[in-house]
Amino acid sequence: MSEELRKPRIGISVGDLNGIGMELIIKAFSDKDMLDLCTPIVYASSKVASYHRNAIDYKSFNFHIISKTEDALESKPNLVNVWKDEVNIEFGKVDPVVGSFALKSLDAACEALENGEIDALVTAPLNKESIQSEEFQFSGHTDYLEARFKAKATMMLISDEMRMALATVHIPLNKVSERINADLIEHKLKTIHVSLKGDFHQPKGKIAVLALNPHAGDNGVMGKEDQEIVLPAIEKAKENGIMAFGPYPADSFFGAGLHKKFDAVLAMYHDQGLVAFKSLSFGQGVNYSAGLPIVRTSPDHGTAFDIAGQGLADPSSFRQAIYAAIDISRKRAESAELNANPLKIKAKKK
């Protein structure tokens, strides 16, 4: 099959085995239509898959078990046997031993990415506590992927409703103003601009920037950061050809539906952006790591320990993460092909 017609190979790391990751994978690929869109390759073990399948009563579902990625078959849900160890699964429990297998899965998927064996990575949720070890001292997937692929990522939540990017992510609220500076905002705006162009084919994407302070500081009455840091960064981005606007007071921005007029929104901190995003798109949103040289998506929720192993997990967001990985990997390939063979402009005859 030609490269143009080949279905994307989507690598999937299983996340915390005491959570809902494997359940999401099994439910998503029980839908045969998903196999028409991509070739899924899960990095785990057949024993773990069998345990989860029985726990949620999906006994008719089967993976095609392989020992290496290149043996994956189209129209099959493939599983690479990364380990043969017995894993003591206790749903809903924080367990560093179980967390170590989440890292084995992630490492194997990243190695496949590095070798060009898969086109994109979809990560099932981690438990940030159980995975911590000498080998993994990161706050989550994003930090790990930044270190591994030597690039800075911008967390972007995407849905049909909006694309929401964050200037700062997992830091205490009392540290946010310390981290906000012009260089950071300019970098984030550039990353969003490049992503809109190459990953979403929005070459002139409009970006709204939310203010840090209430009412955008009210001309300095409630803080000067928006006037002295955020606004100059927006103006600098405009000078560099980026269509950035703001800063907009966050409290009225979404209620007025202004997010619908932009191709992306940049929030200053985690809850400022995600409260609005999840209120409008919960269960359908996708976490995308913009700015990395690889395509990585994940669902917009965590391990859901409270319902793990009960068959209650909703695979909607996970399914959307797969769709996004397919779409973005294809758009990146199209962009790379266009940029590699640009049309030459003939010189005008004098």
pLDDT bin (cut points 50, 70, 90) of residue 217 is confident
The yes/no answer on whether domain 1-151+292-333 falls in CATH 3.40.50.11260 is: no
| Residue ranges covered by each domain of the chain | 1-151+292-333, 153-289
Overall average pLDDT of the 298-316 stretch: 95
The contacts of residue 127 (CB under 8 Å, 6+ apart) are 15, 16, 18, 19, 94, 99, 102, 302, 303, 305
**Picking from 16-20, 30-34, 217-221, 296-300, which range would have the lowest pLDDT averaged per residue?**
217-221
**Contact criterion met (CB below 8 Å) for 303 and 22:** no
The residue type of 205 is G
Overall average pLDDT of the 199-206 stretch: 92
What pLDDT shows up at residue 44? 97
Q: Which of 239, 246, 141 is nearest to 190 (CA)?
A: 239
More confident residue, 346 or 268: 268
3-state secondary structure of 13: strand
**Contact criterion met (CB below 8 Å) for 51 and 85:** no
The residue type of 80 is V
User: What is the average pLDDT score of the chain?
Assistant: 92
> How far is residue 76's CA from residue 62's CA, in Å, rounded to a whole number?
9
Reported as a single tens digit per residue, the pLDDT across 124-167 is 999 999 999 999 999 889 999 999 999 999 999 999 989 999 99
Sign of CA dihedral 108, 113, 119, 125: positive
More confident residue, 98 or 5: 98
- Which spans in 32-115 are helix H? 34-37, 46-55, 96-114
- Which residue's structure tokens are 């929401």? 164
Half-sphere exposure (CA, 13 Å, Cβ side) for 279? 8
> How far is residue 1's CA from residue 57's CA, in Å, rounded to a whole number?
36
* Phi and psi angles of residue 252, each rounded to the nearest 5 degrees, phi first: -100, -10
140: phi > 0 → left, psi -120 to 50 → alpha, else beta; which?
A: left
> How far is residue 232's CA from residue 182's CA, in Å, rounded to a whole number?
7
pLDDT bin (cut points 50, 70, 90) of residue 247 is very high
Q: How would you class 289 by CB atoms within 10 Å of its CB: exposed for 0-12, middle for 13-18, buried for 19 or more?
A: buried
> How far is residue 123's CA from residue 43's CA, in Å, rounded to a whole number?
10
The residue type of 283 is G
* Phi and psi angles of residue 134, each rounded to the nearest 5 degrees, phi first: -65, -30
For 153-289, CATH number? Answer: 3.40.718.10
The answer, yes or no, to whether residue 345 has pLDDT greater than 70, is no
CATH topology match: 1-151+292-333 vs 153-289: yes
